[in-house]
């Protein structure tokens, strides 16, 4: 009989949803183990309590970001353990699981308390500028508290280092042997780096937080990642040690920062340097950002010829993305980064993606990546801004050693590390800006960021240092220009699609996928994929369900993805009694999402909202993925969506029968109009020949104008002083 505890509930990092996995290995675990979680479909569950998780005989895995669980996760873990439920903590980025009990929870609680006290003392010290005697008292208190923290953390570092050193000896021997087998194709410096870090980490005479240890760990981490390209099988064996390296690095950095923050003389001496500052001192962060804004030094980038796959740009490029608080495994933003980095790598001699969170799809696409986790995964404003200090420390040596030919950075909230590295090392800097998170918060959460001025300052630092700013829409371009950036440094370059991943399925593929989903061949499948965010038209989708389902009994709705407003859809389905007509696939891996779209006859994009302080500035990735699938599309005539899908039909064009299709690509409806949207869906359900013709036209347009290869080519065209293609040509075709 199968052990019931082989089935485990999985709680997502935000504690808003649960999934379920079954694996016999889970029941055999005793402490901390390396374990790669499979794709998981999550369903909303709020509030998240032990009682809400149901039968305590079923195990539970609570997913974390990096480091320690937060207060809510601790509360849930403690309640699960008390109820007798087998409980594990999971770190998806490290592919690690740990079985916990009451004793381990108590240990974690003590560790959290020590860190909290240390953080509060450091923050207090940074803010207080009292008399000399008061400063000395504060410093003494901080040093006293830090001493206990350092002693505990040093023990952890010592244990981690001992475990790593024990494995290094046979790995070094294997590496040498492999180098001989490959005729020296594994560079000698890789062997040397492994030997060096082994000797430095095992040298008990060095302090755990010494620069020599940190430098050696950085060298080893980078070398082990590089090794994958030269010797894949051995690289995979070393990969299991990378999480250990990350933990040593993070803990050593903690010790170093604790020692610095507890020493007033060191803190004061740093204040005049060209470096970001500590997380607790936002005044110093402001000083750092102002220096970048007021004294930018953009570096020129002008290729002799437009780089292509056959004539690549020389040197090494860096793709940079540091949104540490938002680990992703699928979705528009995830696919955007992976396919864009792939296209960049195919026109650059060498490219490495430097990420805050590892993207597995990058590995699948053959793009080298180095994941540099944050010290804390909390998405608090002070943490977003303070992480400039963390990342510049960790990436500074990399940029100095690598001296990349360019940095391409996907701009993220509060981050100016790319601008800092570009200015400091004279590296050409391409910024991709996808629109204002500040405007999004005002529009959809009816609130403002507490440190909005500093977040804007970080954006300004990137804009002024940038060699080129690539934006996804005309509306974003206008916003950047209003902030004083010359228009010749701004490129409108919408999102795009990878035609190899997103393509129409064969008849047999479609039949197989429908069978997996429980769909019949004679049913008409309407699909929606997305993150169910605020501007995705979730209100329109919910409001139109009754009219759509009442209009044709063959219609089935396939939902792919998850997000903040997914519960509204569940409520609408339950309220209307549509459960037997809606298939919810949940969040799935990127490739599976593309596969599921092949089951759909019609794809919908009912975006309905302009921003509170600007027009709709988005460039929905789903739009281009829909076009590539060759299915009928119903979408809102909203800014860029309407431009890209023009020429188009309207729901009213079906009033007297199926209209003739010439070059139209989709059916466009009035934004926010539930009846118009539902009428468009029903019109295409009843006109299969029309939707097939529209689908062919849409895919041809995607192929001609909107591939990621064309998107990257537009970057090179602008930098080479030539006219862009793709959207620059297509947008002028929209009828007046």
Mean pLDDT of 158-170: 58
Q: Which of the pair, 368 or 152, is modelled with greater confidence? A: 368
> Mapping DSSP to helix (H, G, I), strand (E, B) and coil, where does residue 184 land?
coil
Which of the four pLDDT bands, split at 50, 70 and 90, describes residue 225? very low
Phi then psi for 663, rounded to 5 degrees?
-115, 15
For the chain, the structural domain boundaries read 4-100, 132-270, 282-492, 507-706
In angstroms, the CA 607 to CA 106 distance is 48
pLDDT the model gives residue 248:
54
> How many C-beta atoms surround the C-beta of residue 330 within 10 A?
25
| Bridge partners, 584 (sequence order) | 559
Residues belonging to the chain: 736
Strand order in the sheet with 524-529: 582-586, 555-560, 524-529, 602-605, 632-636, 667-669
CA 213, CA 704: separation in Å to the nearest integer? Answer: 52
The single-letter DSSP state of residue 660 is P
Class of domain 132-270: mainly alpha
- C-alpha 131, offset from chain centre: 45
**pLDDT band, residue 515 (cuts 50/70/90):** very high
Mean pLDDT of 594-616: 84
Distance CA 724, CA 705 (A): 11
Contact at 8 Å (CB) between 651 and 679? Answer: yes
At 31 the pLDDT is 81
Q: Mean pLDDT over residues 510-515, rounded?
A: 93
Whole-model pTM: value is 0.66
Q: Specify the pLDDT at position 285.
A: 83
Alpha-carbon gap, residue 706 to 690, rounded angstroms:
23
Percent of the chain having pLDDT more than 70? 74
The model's confidence at residue 636, banded by pLDDT at 50, 70 and 90, is very high
Burial of 213-239, coded b for 16+ CB within 10 Å and e otherwise, reads: bbebbbbbbbbbbbbbeebeebbeebe
Residue-level pLDDT at 146:
43
Could you identify the residue written with the tokens 């240390």? 118
pLDDT range class, residue 185, cuts 50, 70, 90 = very low
Q: How far is CA 565 from the centre of its chain?
A: 19
Tell me: pLDDT of 135 over 90.
no
Residue 124: pLDDT above 90?
no
Say how far apart CA 332 and CA 522 lie, in whole Å: 30
Q: For residue 312, what is the DSSP state?
A: P
DSSP-derived secondary structure letter, 580: G
Instruction: Kindly state the average pLDDT of the residues 604-622.
Output: 80
Is the domain spanning 282-492 CATH 3.40.50.2000? The answer is yes
- Decide if pLDDT at 304 tops 80: yes
Structure-block tokens of residue 546: 């009754």
Average pLDDT along the chain: 80
- Starting from the edge strand earliest in sequence, which strands make up the sheet with 7-11, in order? 32-34, 96-100, 87-91, 59-63, 7-11, 17-22, 43-44
Complete DSSP assignment for 473-497? SHHHHHHHHHTT--GGGEEE----B
Higher pLDDT, 328 or 629: 629
- Short-list 136, 116, 138, CA closest to 125: 138
DSSP bridge pairs for 525:
556
Q: Is the pLDDT of residue 222 over 90?
A: no
Asked whether the domain spanning 507-706 has the same topology as the one spanning 282-492, the reply is yes
Mean pLDDT throughout 706-732?
94
N-term to C-term CA, the chain: 69
Q: Which tokens in the block code for residue 564?
A: 């903040």
* Range in 30-39, 123-132, 531-540 with the lowest mean pLDDT: 123-132
**268-302 pLDDT tens trace:** 223 333 344 334 467 778 888 999 999 999 999 99
pLDDT band (50, 70, 90) for residue 118:
very low
Which residues are within 8 A (CB) of 268 and not within 5 positions of it... i.e. 6 or more apart?
A: none
pLDDT at 102: 87
| DSSP assigned state of 317 | E
User: In the prediction, which pLDDT does 379 show?
Assistant: 74
Q: What architecture is domain 507-706?
A: 3-Layer(aba) Sandwich (3.40)
List, for residues 18-75, the tens digit of each pLDDT value: 888 988 888 888 888 878 888 787 777 767 888 889 888 899 999 986 567 877 888 8
Q: What is the DSSP string of 585-627?
A: EES--HHHHHHHGGG-SEEEE------SSSS-----HHHHHHH
Residue 389 CB contacts under 8 Å (≥ 6 apart), including other chains: 275, 276, 277, 278, 279, 285
Is residue 561 within 8 Å of 587, Cβ to Cβ?
Answer: yes
Model confidence at 250, pLDDT cuts 50, 70, 90, reads low
DSSP 530-569: S---TTS-HHHHHHHHHHHHHH-TTEEEEEE---TTHHHH
Q: What is the pLDDT of residue 439?
A: 78
Between CA 709 and CA 725 the distance in angstroms is 11
Strand order in the sheet with 313-321: 368-371, 348-355, 313-321, 406-410, 429-433, 468-471, 490-492
For residue 687, with 0-12 CB atoms within 10 Å meaning exposed, 13-18 middle and 19 or more buried, which class applies? buried
Is residue 635 within 8 Å of residue 605, measured between CB atoms? yes
Token pair for 562:
């998850």
CA 691 – CA 297 distance, rounded (Å): 52
**Cis preceding-peptide flag for 93 (omega within 30 of 0):** no
CA distance 47 to 647: 46
Contact 552, 524 (CB under 8 A): yes
Beta pairing class for 87-91 and 96-100: antiparallel
Tokens 């064969």 correspond to what residue?
506
Pairwise CA distance, residues 564 & 518, whole Å = 27
| Torsion, Cα of 360, 366, 367, 368 (10° steps) | 90
* Long-range Cβ pairs for the range 2-5 (8 Å, 24+): 3/27, 4/57, 4/58, 5/57, 5/58, 5/59, 5/86
The pLDDT assigned to 458 comes to: 93
- DSSP annotation of 5 reads G
DSSP alpha helix (H) spans, 24-87: 24-28, 71-82
Determine the 3-state secondary structure of 156 from DSSP.
helix
Cα dihedral across residues 263, 264, 269, 274: positive or negative: positive
């Amino acid at each position: 009989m199968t052990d019931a505890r082989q089935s485990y509930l999985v709680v997502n990092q935000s504690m808003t949803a649960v999934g379920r996995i079954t694996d016999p290995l889970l029941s055999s675990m005793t402490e901390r183990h390396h374990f790669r979680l499979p794709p998981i479909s999550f369903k909303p569950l709020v509030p998240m309590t032990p009682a809400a998780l149901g039968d305590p005989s079923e195990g539970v895995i609570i997913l974390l970001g990096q480091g320690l669980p937060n207060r809510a996760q601790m509360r849930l873990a403690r309640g699960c353990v008390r109820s007798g439920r087998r409980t594990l903590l999971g770190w998806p980025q490290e592919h690690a699981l740990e079985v916990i009990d009451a004793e381990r929870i108590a240990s974690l609680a003590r560790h959290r308390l020590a860190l909290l006290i240390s953080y509060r003392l450091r923050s207090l010290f940074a803010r207080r500028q009292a008399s000399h005697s008061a400063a000395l008292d504060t410093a003494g208190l901080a040093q006293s508290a830090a001493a206990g923290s350092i002693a505990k953390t040093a023990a952890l570092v010592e244990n981690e280092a001992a475990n790593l050193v024990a494995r290094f000896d046979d790995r070094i021997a294997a590496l040498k042997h492999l180098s001989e087998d490959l005729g020296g194709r594994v560079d000698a410096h890789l062997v040397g780096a492994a030997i060096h870090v082994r000797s430095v980490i095992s040298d008990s005479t060095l302090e755990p937080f010494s620069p020599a240890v940190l430098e050696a760990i950085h060298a080893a981490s980078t070398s082990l990642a590089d090794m994958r390209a030269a010797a894949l099988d051995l690289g995979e064996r070393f990969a299991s040690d990378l999480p250990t390296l990350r933990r040593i690095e993070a803990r050593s950095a903690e010790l170093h920062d604790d020692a610095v923050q507890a020493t007033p003389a060191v803190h004061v001496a740093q204040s005049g340097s060209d470096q970001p500052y500590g997380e607790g001192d936002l005044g110093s962060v402001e000083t750092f950002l102002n220096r970048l804004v007021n004294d930018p030094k953009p570096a020129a980038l002008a290729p002799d010829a437009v780089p292509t796959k056959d004539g690549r740009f020389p040197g090494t490029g860096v793709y940079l993305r540091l949104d540490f608080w938002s680990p992703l495994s699928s979705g528009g933003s995830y696919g955007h980064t992976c396919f864009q980095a792939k296209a960049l790598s195919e026109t650059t001699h060498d490219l490495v993606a430097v990420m805050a969170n590892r993207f597995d799809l990058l590995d699948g696409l053959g793009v080298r990546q180095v994941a540099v986790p944050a010290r804390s995964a909390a998405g608090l404003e002070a943490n977003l801004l303070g992480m400039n200090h963390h990342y510049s420390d960790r990436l500074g040596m990399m940029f100095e050693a690598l001296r990349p030919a360019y940095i391409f950075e996907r701009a993220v909230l509060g981050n100016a590390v790319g601008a800092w590295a570009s200015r400091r090392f004279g590296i050409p800097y391409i910024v991709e800006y996808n629109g204002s998170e500040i405007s999004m918060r005002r529009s959809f959460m009816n609130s403002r960021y507490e440190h909005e001025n500093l977040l804007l300052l970080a954006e300004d630092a990137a804009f002024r240092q940038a060699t080129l700013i690539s934006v996804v829409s005309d509306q974003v371009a206008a916003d950047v220009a209003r902030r004083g950036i010359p228009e010749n440094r701004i490129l409108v370059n919408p999102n795009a699609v990878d035609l190899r991943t997103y393509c129409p399925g064969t008849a047999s593929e479609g039949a197989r996928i429908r069978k997996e989903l429980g769909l019949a061949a004679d049913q008409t499948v309407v699909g929606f994929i997305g993150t169910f965010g605020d501007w995705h038209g979730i209100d329109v989708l919910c409001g139109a369900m009754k009219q759509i389902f009442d209009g044709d009994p063959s219609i089935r709705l396939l939902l792919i993805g998850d997000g903040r407003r997914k519960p509204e859809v569940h409520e609408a389905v339950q309220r209307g009694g549509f459960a037997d007509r809606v298939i919810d696939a949940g969040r799935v891996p990127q490739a599976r999402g593309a596969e599921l779209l092949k089951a759909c006859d019609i794809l919908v994009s009912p975006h309905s909202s302009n921003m509170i302080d600007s027009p709709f500035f988005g460039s929905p990735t789903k739009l281009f993925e829909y076009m590539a699938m060759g299915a009928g599309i119903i979408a809102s005539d909203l800014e860029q969506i309407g431009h890209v899908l023009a020429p188009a039909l309207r729901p009213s064009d079906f009033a007297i029968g199926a209209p003739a299709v010439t070059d139209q690509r989709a059916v466009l409806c009035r934004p926010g109009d539930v009846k118009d949207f539902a009428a468009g869906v029903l019109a295409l359900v009843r006109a299969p020949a029309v939707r097939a013709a529209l689908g062919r036209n849409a895919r041809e347009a995607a192929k001609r104008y909107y591939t990621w290869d064309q998107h990257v080519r537009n970057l090179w065209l602008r930098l080479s002083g030539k006219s862009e293609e793709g959207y620059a040509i297509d947008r002028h075709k929209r009828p007046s």
